[in-house]
Structure 1
Amino acid sequence: MIKIFGVGRGKRAEDGKDGEGDAAVPAVKRKQPGEIRMQKELDEMELPPQCNIEFPDKNNLMNFQISIAPDEGFWKGAAYTFVFSVAPLYPHEAPKVKCETKIYHPNIDLQGNVCLNILREDWKPVLSISSVVYGLLYLFLEPNPGDPLNHEAAEVLRNNRAEFGRIVSRSLRGGSVASHVFPKLI
C-alpha cells in the first residue's frame, strides 16, 4: 500500500529538521479541536443583555467566566458568576461549570455545583456554550425542585413558594439560612 498523505512527516517532526539542512523547524502549537470549536462559537455568540463574558487569561479560550444578572424571578437584582472550564475534547465532552457566587437555589449547591441536565446526561456535541448559558438563565426563571442539589431549598420551594421567596430575599441581603451566611448581593 502506498501512503500518499503524510509521507515523511513523522520523521521530520520527530527529529525537528525541516529536510533542508540542519535548521530546526520552529515549534508551532497546534490548536486542539475544542479550541477551534470554542473560537468559532465565540465569534458567533450573542449573549442576552443580562449576561457578560470575561476571560481572565486572554490567551486561554477554554477557561472563562460568565456573569448572569437575572432581570426577573427570585434572584432578580443580583449578579452571579459562573466559571467555565472547557475540555480539549469539547464538544464531545460537556464543559464543567461552577457557580462562584454563594446562592440559595435548589439546583445549585452551596459549593457551587450546578444541576443542569445538559451538563450531564443530556449533553450532545450539537449543544454549545450558548445552550449552557440559556440553561443557566432558565434555572433562575424556573428552578427545578424535582432534580435538586440543595434538597432543603427544593423542599421549601415545593411546599411553600412564598416562604422560599422570603428565604431567597434574606440570602440576597447577606442574611443567614440554616447556619449558612450568604454574601450581600443587593
Structure 2
Amino acid sequence: MFYCCSRRRIMIKLFKVKEKQRELAENASSGPPVKKQSAGELRLHKDISELNLPKSCTIQFPNGKDDLMNFEVSIRPDDGYYLGGTFLFSFQVSPIYPHEAPKVKCKTKVYHPNIDLEGNVCLNILREDWKPVLNINTVIYGLYHLFTEPNYEDPLNHDAAAVLRENPKMFESNVRRAMAGGYVGQTFFPRCI
C-alpha cells in the first residue's frame, strides 16, 4: 500500500517535471509567451485585413492594434441628408464572433430615425438578420447606408421617423440644425460637421 502511494507520487512528480520542461521549451523558443487567439479574433483579423471601405469611412484602434476586438469606425456621408457630418461608432466584438453580431454604438449624438439619443443603432443585420457569413465590412456598409437612406419604417427615434415620413423638408432642416450644433425640440446636438 505504501509502495503504491509512493509510486503514484513519483509518477505525478515526473509528469509535473515533463510539463514544466515543455513550458520552458515553448517559452525559450519564442521569447515571451504568446497569447492564444480565439476563433473570433482570428476571423476578425481576417475581416479587417480584407476591408474594402468607401473613402468616407475609416477605422481606428484606440486601444492599439493588440486589441482588435474593440475599435471605432468614422463615417462621413458623401450623399443625402447627413452630407458633411462625421459620425463615430464603437464596435465591441465577442470572442464567439462571427456566431454573434458585433455590438455597435453611435458615439456621436445624432438626429436620426434609426439611431436613438443613447447611440443604439437599429440595423437588421446587427439583430435578427445576423448570419456568420456576414462580416465587419457588411456592417460598416449597413451603417453607411443608414445615413444615405434613413428608414422611417423601423425607427428607434420615433419623433425623427415621424418627421421624415410626414415632412421630409422639415426633417432635412432638423438634421442640418442638429449637425451644426443646435437644438431640435428640447434636445441639444453637438456640432458634427
TM-score, length of structure 1 as denominator length: 0.87
Q: For residue 70 of structure 1, what is the amino acid of its counterpart?
A: P
* Cα distance in 1 between the residues matched to 2:98 and 2:17: 32
2:142 maps to what in 1?
Answer: 135
Contact 2:108 2:192 in 1 (8 A): no
* Cα distance in 2 between the residues matched to 1:68 and 1:93: 23
1:115 pairs with 2:122: yes
1:80 maps to what in 2?
Answer: 87
Deviation at 1:21, TM superposition (A): 8.2
Alignment of 1:163-182 (within 5 A): 163-182=170-189
1:44 maps to what in 2?
Answer: 50
Question: In the comparison of the two structures, how many residue pairs are matched?
Answer: 174
**C-alpha RMSD over aligned residues:** 2.1
Q: For residue 43 of structure 1, what is the amino acid of its counterpart?
A: S
Query: Which range is displaced more, 25-34 or 123-132?
Result: 25-34
Which of 66, 77, 87 is 1:59 aligned to? 66
Q: Deviations over 1:109-166 (max 9, x none)?
A: 0000000000000000000000000000110111110000000000000100011001
Q: 1:174 to 1:15 in 2, by over 3 A?
A: farther
| Greater fraction of residues in helix | 2
2:153 maps to what in 1?
Answer: 146
Secondary structure of 1:18's counterpart equals: helix
Deviation at 1:30, TM superposition (A): 1.3
Contact 1:18 1:24 in 2 (8 A): no
1:157 maps to what in 2?
Answer: 164
* Cα distance in 1 between the residues matched to 2:17 and 2:57: 46
Deviation at 1:18, TM superposition (A): 3.3
* Cα distance in 2 between the residues matched to 1:42 and 1:22: 32
> Radius of gyration: which is bigger?
2
Deviation at 1:23, TM superposition (A): 4.8
Deviation at 1:20, TM superposition (A): 4.3
Q: Which runs of 5+ in 1 are unaligned?
A: 1-10
TM-score, length of structure 2 as denominator length: 0.84
1:5 maps to what in 2?
Answer: none
Deviation at 1:44, TM superposition (A): 1.3
Query: Which range is displaced more, 173-182 or 14-23?
Result: 14-23
* Cα distance in 2 between the residues matched to 1:176 and 1:20: 67
* Cα distance in 1 between the residues matched to 2:84 and 2:132: 33
Contact 1:16 1:25 in 2 (8 A): no
Q: 1:55 to 1:22 in 2, by over 3 A?
A: closer
Q: For residue 40 of structure 1, what is the amino acid of its counterpart?
A: K
1:18 maps to what in 2?
Answer: 19
Alignment of 1:25-36 (within 5 A): 26=27, 27-36=33-42
Deviation at 1:37, TM superposition (A): 0.2
Q: For residue 99 of structure 1, what is the amino acid of its counterpart?
A: C
Secondary structure of 1:166's counterpart equals: helix
